[in-house]
Chains A and B, each alone.
Chain A
Amino acid sequence: MATCQPVLLPSAIPCPGLNCYACPLAIFACPIGSLQYFVIIGQFPFYLLGFLALLGILFGRAICGWGCPFGFLQDLLYRLPVVKRRILPAQVSLLPFVVLLGVVLVIPYLTKEPWFSKLCPMGTLQAGIPLVLLDTGLRELVGTLYWVKIVILVFFITLAIFDSRPFCRSVCPLGAIYALFNRLSLIQVKSRVGCSACGDCSETKSLEARCPTKLELPRQLNSIGCIKCGECAACSGIRLGVRQPH
């Protein structure tokens, strides 16, 4: 019974979105940091995988589109009125799986170090910068790794101004976990039969311009890159909602 008690405490529950648990105001645990911890101690993460699979099967990547603080920040940055460019190619959608396998699972297992956390720009933003500013003791310990993290954060912040959601599309391992359930999840983006007949997607490309992950619509609805944000639902032929059982 004693071992079950901490499940009631917030920091025993992973945050559904990317949220650093070293942040002075953090309430929930970081899902990727916790996953790496289990990999490092050599224990199969039943609890974490069950938790993430449950969220994935219910919502899929709708969590990325509606509940991730870092995704929200990138959306805000993309709204800055500067010329937008398509910097990242479509092929980067497979990179998060490489990051998940390599930087979150294999390398931490071999080196016993949480390498994704060490490079994560969300950690720099939520914990690195405020803690180093507030704590003089920590300030004296700042070294190369801290500045590497700052460079990574500045890189993604700058990229997010010109191209939408670059971190989500090219790096985020949490998004890669949810992407595995994207076609299966209860929340789906559905296109009405024959919706492409209006020609809006194929001719004016207005829907693709709206899509923050730059998918080919409506063909790639609910694909691994679809964050189910509902931007494409501006077209009356597409809707975001709960999938019908038949």
Chain B
Amino acid sequence: MRPVFSRWLIAFLVGLVLAISLLAYGVQLGQPARVYRNASILCLGCIGIEP
């Protein structure tokens, strides 16, 4: 008999919930603000210049 929920669907849903939880917790910690601040500073290493 075919199971109602396949192993893939269960793994997918667990992964989806975990990913959203991580994202939400990061937002709650204010990490987007850190990403924004870091992205606002010119990355000299990316250009290839060492200060």
- In the assembled complex, the Cα of A43 lies from the Cα of B30 at a distance in Å of 12
Query: Is A12 touching B22 in the complex (CB atoms < 8 A)?
Result: no
Evaluate contact between A29 and B22: CB separation under 8 angstroms.
no
- A53 at the A/B interface (Cβ < 8 Å)? yes
- A38 & B34 in contact (Cβ 8 Å cutoff): yes
Q: Are B35 and A14 in contact (CB under 8 A)?
A: yes
- Residues in B whose Cβ lies below 8 Å from that of A45: 26, 31
Q: Tell whether, in the assembled complex, residue B50 and residue A246 are in contact, meaning their CB atoms are under 8 Å apart.
A: no
The one of A34, A41, A57, A120 that contacts B39, using a Cβ cutoff of 8 Å: A34
Complex CA distance for A142 and B49, rounded to whole angstroms: 6
- Taking CB atoms, residues of chain B closer than 8 Å to A26 are 39
The distance in angstroms between the C-alpha atoms of A49 and B36, with both chains bound, is 16
The reply on A209 being an interface residue by CB < 8 A is no
User: In the complex the two chains form, is A47's CB within 8 Å of B32's CB?
Assistant: yes
Residues of A within 8 A of B23 (CB): 46-47, 50-51, 53-54
CB-based contact B39/A123 at 8 Å: no
- How many B residues touch the partner, as a band? 35 or more
Interface band, chain A: 35 or more
Question: Is the CB of B1 closer than 8 A to any CB of chain A?
Answer: no
Contact of B46 among A12, A117, A245 (CB under 8 A): A117
Chain A residues with Cβ below 8 Å from B11 are 184
Q: Is A114 close to B, CB under 8 A?
A: yes
Residue from the list B5, B21, B40, B47 in contact with A50, Cβ < 8 A? B21
Chain A residues, CB < 8 A from B39? 11-12, 21, 26, 28-30, 33-34
Task: Write out the residue numbers on chain A whose beta carbons fall within 8 Å of the beta carbon of B22.
Answer: 46-47, 49-50, 53
When A46-B23, A181-B15, A243-B8 are in contact, do A117 and B45 touch as well, CB less than 8 Å? yes
CA distance A34 to B41 in the complex (A): 12
A31 to B43, CA, bound (A): 13
B4-48 interface bits toward A, Cβ cutoff 8 Å, 1 = contact, 0 = none: 011011011001101111111111111111111011101111111
A-B contact pairs, 19 of them (CB 8 A): A4-B30, A7-B27, A29-B39, A33-B39, A34-B38, A37-B35, A38-B31, A47-B29, A47-B31, A49-B26, A50-B20, A50-B22, A50-B24, A54-B20, A113-B45, A118-B45, A142-B48, A148-B48, A150-B48
List the 10 shortest-distance A-B pairs measured between CB atoms, nearest first: A47-B26, A50-B23, A50-B22, A3-B30, A46-B26, A123-B46, A146-B48, A47-B31, A53-B19, A12-B36
